[in-house]
Amino acid sequence: VASGGVIKCKAAVAWEPGKPLTIQDVDVAPPKVHEVRIKIVATGVCHTDWEYLYESGKGMKSRPFPLVLGHEAAGIVESVGPEVTKFSPGDKVIPLFLPQCGECERCRSPKTNQCRKNWANMQLGVMADGTSRISYKNQQLYQFLGVSSFSQYTVVPDTSLTKIRCDAPLDKVCLLGCGVSTGYGAAVKTAKVEKDSSCAVFGLGAVGLAAVMGCQVAGAKRIIGVDINPDKFEKARVFGATECINPRDHEKAIQEVLVEKTGGGVDYALECVGSPVIMNAALESTAEAWGTCVIAGWTETETMNIMVEKILMGRTLKGTYFGGWKSVEDVPKLVDDYMNKKLKLDEFITHNLTLDQINVAFDLLKSGKSIRTVISL
């Protein structure tokens, strides 16, 4: 409902860390210069949303609260602010927690996707002018990574948004806003998995399953899924895992099991859990001389203890942010890949819920019962 440019709508608000979200009637201000207001149609619920709420100040840096979480979404442009040239009302779009301004040094380099446009402000939960566009009874609600998709409407910078084809189903392609793109890219773009290689994927949530899918698309011969929750194994096989291992079924450390199983270690290991201990296990499960370990799992304040000799003997350790994709230009291509059936999305979606059930979605994620819940707004 528009009134004087402000839209009144529902949003799930995180009032303080560690507490469930509450649904509130919020005001979403019109977009300012180089900003776009979008109607969120569907949003996934990612592990990172949960972590910023429940692990704030633990494995994660503290964020400003009250906060509107959500960063894996798809929607429709409602209105555009001054100087916006690339978007018009009615466009189907995916908001991006990683911008691509196209102009900064990093955007001009093919070596990285890590654009820094608006970075500092987005980490502080505000837009370029230092304020948020979402408020509750005149109290500012901070935005999350420049997105905030747990709201029926939000405002994003025009460099944190990409236009997608009009026939794309938004309740599916929303997953390309984070988890699936991250895991898939971790395999095909950051690790650059090769044909006939052997791979191990640690953690079989959406990010890990997408990594498994990437290994398969790249033509890997052996794809070993590793998870302490064996309920994930069936899905992993759907995405291309050739075998699955539960570390808890073995006396030996998982890296030793993998090195033995593969006669020296895997060519590629992908960490999709977010735990330094698993990161180390992933690195140590790769083959001497050329093994590559890519970390996709997230933690901001913990450190990893690496045996230097592992690296000296020719292994490579890399991290990936958003799967290495240049967000604005690559996400529409991933949408095409889905529409052309090169990439699976539907299989990630285990639950469909509404915004008022958002805390249920967190419970499903945390208990390991869901891969992705898609929330319709």
Query: Contact residues for ligand NAD (CB under 6 A)?
Result: 46-48, 51, 178-179, 182, 202-208, 226-229, 232, 247, 272-274, 278, 296-298, 320-322, 365, 368
Q: Provide the CB-side half-sphere exposure for 180 (13 A, CA).
A: 29
What is the pairing mode between strands 222-226 and 198-202?
Answer: parallel
Question: In angstroms, rounded to a whole number, what is the distance separating the alpha carbons of residues 16 and 21?
Answer: 9
CB closer to Zn ion, 67 vs 115: 115
Q: Which of positions 26-55 make contact with Zn ion (CB under 5 A)?
A: 46, 48
| Residue 104 interacting partner from Zn ion, ligand NAD, none (CB closer than 5 to 8 Å by kind) | Zn ion
Question: In angstroms, rounded to a whole number, what is the distance separating the alpha carbons of residues 235 and 213?
Answer: 11
CB atoms near residue 3 (< 10 Å): 8
Options 164-172, 175-183, 220-228, 235-243: segment touching Zn ion (CB under 5 A): 175-183
Options 88-96, 170-178, 268-276, 339-347: segment touching Zn ion (CB under 5 A): 170-178
b (16+ CB within 10 A) / e for 296-313: bbbbeeeeeeeeeebeee
| Residue 115 interacting partner from ligand NAD, Zn ion, none (CB closer than 5 to 8 Å by kind) | Zn ion
Smallest separation, CB 88 to Zn ion (Å): 23
CB closer to ligand NAD, 196 vs 302: 302
| Residue 320 interacting partner from Zn ion, ligand NAD, none (CB closer than 5 to 8 Å by kind) | ligand NAD
| Residue 227 interacting partner from Zn ion, ligand NAD, none (CB closer than 5 to 8 Å by kind) | ligand NAD
Reference 161, options 116, 103, 96, 102; nearest CA is 96
- For the four alpha carbons of 334, 340, 343 and 347, in that order, the dihedral sign comes to positive
Smallest separation, CB 218 to ligand NAD (Å): 19
Question: In angstroms, rounded to a whole number, what is the distance separating the alpha carbons of residues 84 and 89?
Answer: 11
Q: Does 178 bind Zn ion (CB under 5 A)?
A: yes
Q: Which residue has the tokens 């979008």?
A: 38
Smallest separation, CB 139 to ligand NAD (Å): 28
| Residue 51 interacting partner from ligand NAD, Zn ion, none (CB closer than 5 to 8 Å by kind) | ligand NAD
Q: Does 104 bind Zn ion (CB under 5 A)?
A: yes
Question: In angstroms, rounded to a whole number, what is the distance separating the alpha carbons of residues 21 and 67?
Answer: 10
CB atoms near residue 86 (< 10 Å): 13
Q: Does 155 bind Zn ion (CB under 5 A)?
A: no
CB closer to Zn ion, 115 vs 155: 115
CB closer to Zn ion, 48 vs 255: 48
CB closer to ligand NAD, 259 vs 278: 278
Distances (CA, A) of 377 to 3, 44, 134: 20, 11, 16
Options 100-108, 198-206, 312-320, 330-338: segment touching Zn ion (CB under 5 A): 100-108
CB closer to ligand NAD, 229 vs 352: 229
H/E run at residue 211 = helix 206-217
Smallest separation, CB 66 to ligand NAD (Å): 21
Question: In angstroms, rounded to a whole number, what is the distance separating the alpha carbons of residues 258 and 283?
Answer: 11
CB closer to ligand NAD, 232 vs 344: 232
Distances (CA, A) of 278 to 97, 261, 294: 26, 18, 12
CB atoms near residue 121 (< 10 Å): 18
Name the residue whose CB lies closest to ligand NAD.
Answer: 205
Binds Zn ion by CB under 5 A, chosen from 53, 101, 170, 283? 101
The residues that touch Zn ion, with contacts defined as CB under 5 A, are: 46, 48, 101, 104, 107, 115, 117, 178
